[in-house]
Amino acid sequence: MTENTPVTATTRVALVTGGSGGIGRAVAERLAADGFAVGVQYAGNKNGAGEVVAAITARGGQALAVAGDVADERDMGAVFDAVEAEFGGIDVVVNTAGIMILAPIAELALDDLDRMHRTNIRGTVVVAQQAARRLRRGGAIVNFSTSVTRTRLPTYGAYVASKAAVEGMTLVLARELRGKDITVNAVAPGPTATPLFLRDKDDTAVAAFAGAAPLERLGQPEDIAETVAFLAGPARWINGQVLFANGGLA
Give bridge partners of residue 42 from the DSSP assignment.
67
| Among the ranges given (37-41, 79-83, 85-89, 189-193), the one the predictor scored with the smallest mean pLDDT | 189-193
- Other Cβ atoms less than 10 A from the Cβ of 33: the count is 15
Give domain status of residue 8, yes or no: no
Residue 112 lies in a domain: yes
**Domain membership flag for residue 7:** no
Domain containing 234 — which CATH number? 3.40.50.720
Q: Where in the sequence numbering do the catalytic residues fall?
A: 159
Classify residue 170: in a domain, yes or no.
Answer: yes
Q: 174 and 240 in contact (C-beta within 8 Å)?
A: yes
Residue 250 lies in a domain: no
Predicted structure pTM score:
0.94
Structural domain tally of the chain? Answer: 1
| Per-residue model confidence as pLDDT tens digits over 190-231 | 999 988 788 878 889 899 999 999 999 999 999 999 999 999
Distance of CA 12 to the CA centre of its chain: 18
End-to-end CA distance of the chain: 41
pLDDT value, residue 180: 97
pLDDT at 5 over 70: no
Residue-number span of the structural domain to which 198 is assigned: 13-245
Cα 2 to its chain centre, rounded Å, is 25
**pLDDT tens for residues 137-169?**
999 999 999 999 999 999 999 999 999 999 999
Query: Is there a domain that residue 3 lies in?
Result: no
Distance separating alpha carbons of residues 92 and 232, to the nearest angstrom? 6
* Residue among 184, 206, 192, 170 nearest 246 (CA): 192
Residues 6+ apart with CB under 8 A from 233: 34
Question: Which whole-number Å values give the CA distances from 98 to 70, 106, 115, 138, 208, in the listed order?
Answer: 9, 23, 10, 26, 24
Task: Give CA–CA dist 87/85, Å, rounded.
Answer: 6
Give the Cα separation of 246 and 227 in Å (integer).
11
Q: Which of 157, 36, 138, 49 is nearest to 96 (CA)?
A: 49
Is there a contact between 96 and 24 (Cβ–Cβ < 8 Å)? yes
